[in-house]
Structure 1
């Protein structure tokens, strides 16, 4: 039977679908999930083909319960995947007062003020802003320095920036399950980056080191110049 143009179109669309699914999960914890599922399916297939009826029956019945268990365990990853699908193409974010932010970070680092700052991009962070105090204030270095001063009630939470505005302060971010040997701020920065496309900057209270969490990954300590270049790349500042 000859291959028609519909067959070619079908193959092309399936290939494109798998390519974009791979791009969505590459570098995330969901990649390990996919590998595990593929191994499970291969073992199930071989058991069925080799006539191992008991093993095939066990794997077949476990698959139903396993599907529900995976949905519960990997709920953050699945949510992040759906959000990334919904975001589509990255649009140019609102203008950010880059030099003002960098000046604030330099001051926070020098004074060893622990800080957690999330830059909202395409994923709305309103649900996390609602856990803190809504400010809707103009971004300034003095404001950020004041918010993270150890004597203020909001210094332990995160700050959310929306464009050149401080949307909220004292916010609670989800903690990552990944253990890095670092503090709660770093786990919160990593956790928010796992469930959104936010770029999260964290300043260590112990060392003053500045790190960036993005896409479920935490960078090594960054210099201000390296951070400036990264922000320009990501945010189009």
Structure 2
């Protein structure tokens, strides 16, 4: 039987869908989940095919309970997947331009030197309004002195995260979701990972213990970065915008 143009279109669209899902899941825990589910289904199919009734019955009954368990355990990943699908290919919110970038780097350098912990999210496609609402909306010009003031130990907003929107410091004292991975990390680093898991934000965190600056993107935390390495990464973000 020859393939019609509808069959070819169907195959093409399925291929695009699978590739798009792979791109979305790549680099997250959900990719390992998909691999595990595929192995599970393949084992279940082979058990049924070979007539292994006991094993097939166990796998079949476990699948129902397992589906509910996976929804609970991987709720952050599922939420991130839906947000990425809804985000589409809309225009990026512009990250800091050159002047604000230098102010940002200067502020981060001073915070790192003094070992004042900091958490800063650069908003991109995913709106961070719900997290901004948990803090104080400032909509102020981004400056090194403002960053130093916000994250000075003992000030009311220093424990929360700050959000940069369109080159301006939009909100501070915000509560970010904590990641379920990296349990050995501090709260700021888990919050940086957590926000990067459910959004495409570039999240910068300064350790109050070591003064190290790290970046969280796509559910991954970078090793400590020098200011030059961070500047290079910010330039990449600006260039890709």
Count of equivalent residues:
237
Distance 2:225 2:190 in 1: 17
* C-alpha contact 2:178 2:187 (8 A) present in aligned 1: yes
Please name the residue that 1:214 is paired with.
217
1:135 alignment partner, SS class = strand
Distance 1:92 1:9 in 2: 31
Task: Give CA-to-partner distance per residue, 1:23-81, whole Å, 9 cap, x none.
Answer: 11111000111011011101110111111222222222222222222112111101111
* C-alpha contact 1:132 1:170 (8 A) present in aligned 2: yes
- The yes-or-no answer on 1:142 pairing with 2:141 is no
Q: Specify every segment of 5 or more residues in structure 2 that has no aligned partner in the other structure, as ranges.
A: none
2:152 alignment partner, SS class = coil
Please name the residue that 1:201 is paired with.
204
Task: Give CA-to-partner distance per residue, 1:139-167, whole Å, 9 cap, x none.
Answer: 11111100000121111111111122222
Distance 2:229 2:220 in 1: 17
- The yes-or-no answer on 1:126 pairing with 2:129 is yes
Q: Give matches, 1:77-96, under 5 Å.
A: 77-89=77-89, 91-94=91-94, 96=96
Task: Give CA-to-partner distance per residue, 1:82-114, whole Å, 9 cap, x none.
Answer: 111111225242352211111111111111111
1:113 alignment partner, SS class = coil
Task: Give CA-to-partner distance per residue, 1:100-133, whole Å, 9 cap, x none.
Answer: 1111111111111110001111111111112222
Distance 2:84 2:160 in 1: 26
Per the normalisation by structure 2, the TM-score is 0.93
Q: Which of 166, 190, 194 is 1:191 aligned to?
A: 194
2:46 alignment partner, SS class = helix
* C-alpha contact 1:93 1:235 (8 A) present in aligned 2: no
Q: Specify every segment of 5 or more residues in structure 1 that has no aligned partner in the other structure, as ranges.
A: none
* C-alpha contact 1:112 1:206 (8 A) present in aligned 2: yes
* C-alpha contact 1:92 1:235 (8 A) present in aligned 2: no
Distance 1:177 1:189 in 2: 12
* C-alpha contact 2:95 2:165 (8 A) present in aligned 1: no
1:151 alignment partner, SS class = coil
Per the normalisation by structure 1, the TM-score is 0.94
